Amino acid sequence: MNEIYAIFMNFLKRLFGNDKIGEVTDENGNEIGKFMPKPEIPIDDEFMHNFKNNGGKFLYCENKNELRLNFSEILKENKWDHTEAYCSNKSICEDFDHTHLTFNKNLGACFFLSDCEFLISNTGAILMSSCQLGDKKLSDLPLNFIIIAKTSQLIKTIGEGLQNINKRYDRNLPTNITTIKTFDENKDSDFMNYGSTPKNLYLLLLEDL
């Protein structure tokens, strides 16, 4: 098979007069054929790359203790230690009841604290619904977001996310389904992001696999 491939590549080089045809290397510098399928990027690596490229801030947490520690560091860094957090998730409020935060649904709160539906790897976006947002638009909520997610929520595409929402909620489908993918108000937006509401967003990703 390798011999046939070499003959084929030599034919192309003679035909087009280009010694570099097909000389593509992988991440280790090994030569691979131009017409061979590219190795698939792991879904977590793809998400982290796209998420950071969108301007998001990412912190990986191996366990809940590390999650609480990283959360406290975010509060200290931004001087949010004694502020209000908009949070409607009772479980999340209980996880951080050791802080000096006041949890409420005040739109004038310092930051929005929530979980999410899924993390979309091919765009680096965060998929949310009325289960997190209620009936509020993204533009209604505070500029600052802290999102708590788990590695099991990583999926490839938004289509896959919508399918999983259908399975998860069955006949009680949530409304207000939307994605957030602009996390830097100074970042140039492409056509797909036009008109979106940028958020200063921290993602705390908890390992659960």
User: Per-residue pLDDT tens for 47-95?
Assistant: 999 999 999 999 999 999 999 999 999 999 999 999 999 999 999 999 9
The 3-state secondary structure of 171-198 reads CCCCCCCEEECCCCCCCCCCHHHCCCCC
Q: Residue 23 and residue 55: Cα distance in Å, rounded?
A: 34
Could you give the percent of the chain with pLDDT greater than 70?
76
Four-point Cα dihedral 166, 167, 170, 174, nearest 10: -40
Query: What domains can be seen in the chain, in order of their start residue?
Result: 2-32 (no CATH), 43-206 (3.40.50.10420)
This prediction has a pTM of: 0.79
